[in-house]
Amino acid sequence: MPCPAARRIHYDVGRMRAELPRPEPVSDRHAVALHEAVDKIMRRFKLEPGMLVGSAYADLHVNDVGLLGVLAEPGDWNVRKITRTLNAPFSTVSSALDRLEKRMLIARRRRPGDRRVVYIELTSAGLRVANKLRSTQIETCRLMLFRLSARDREQLIRLVARVADR
């Protein structure tokens, strides 16, 4: 049995990789095939914001899209909670918040009872954009699933959810 230090050295690419169960190694062929398939999906369904002139994603930075989605979820949002939810550095979230505030899509507010914490909320314009993004994303997913059988749809959703939960 390898010692823990050897395991860390073996999986120094990232902590997540070390946590995954490894029933068998992933071949280069599989890794490249998945990369190519994801790349095709990104292009085919225009999932990169820069490719979507005139769409819900137009003029939005990729980080802004994710942040708008998070802020549309129920709850009180502050920068710390957002960074944990997105697993993103403070500087990334702060830059995105600055961009969205400049466009009047979010507002920073302090609560009268506790002025130490700044809460972030969507403005009415921000909520409209977030809802439009979500509708666009759901329709894109519908297109992705369209040609699959019901069984294949369920299997794909299960596998993607499993990867996302890791």
The confidence score (pLDDT) of residue 91 equals 94
Q: Tell me, what CATH number does 153's domain have?
A: 1.10.10.10
Number of domains in the chain: 1
Q: Is residue 80 part of a domain?
A: yes
Q: Is residue 50 part of a domain?
A: yes
pLDDT by 10s per residue, the chain, length 166 = 444 443 333 334 455 555 555 567 766 776 676 666 776 676 666 665 554 545 656 678 888 988 998 999 999 999 999 999 888 899 999 999 999 999 999 999 988 887 788 999 999 999 999 998 888 878 878 877 888 888 988 898 888 887 777 5
Q: Is residue 104 part of a domain?
A: yes
Rounded to whole angstroms, the Cα distance separating 90 from 93 reads 5
The confidence score (pLDDT) of residue 101 equals 96
Q: Is residue 16 part of a domain?
A: no
Q: Is residue 66 part of a domain?
A: yes
The confidence score (pLDDT) of residue 135 equals 83
Which residues make Cβ contacts (< 8 Å) with residue 57, sequence separation at least 6?
49, 65, 133, 136
The confidence score (pLDDT) of residue 75 equals 92
- H helix and E strand count, the chain: 8, 3
| Global model pTM greater than 0.95 | no
Q: Is residue 121 part of a domain?
A: yes
Rounded to whole angstroms, the Cα distance separating 50 from 47 reads 9
Q: What is the DSSP string of 21-58?
A: --SSPPPHHHHHHHHHHHHHHHHHTT-SGGG-TTSTTT
The confidence score (pLDDT) of residue 29 equals 73
Domain that holds residue 100: 46-166
The two beta strands, 77-78 and 106-111, are unpaired
Helix (H, G, I), strand (E, B) or coil at 106: strand
The confidence score (pLDDT) of residue 68 equals 93
Q: Is residue 60 part of a domain?
A: yes
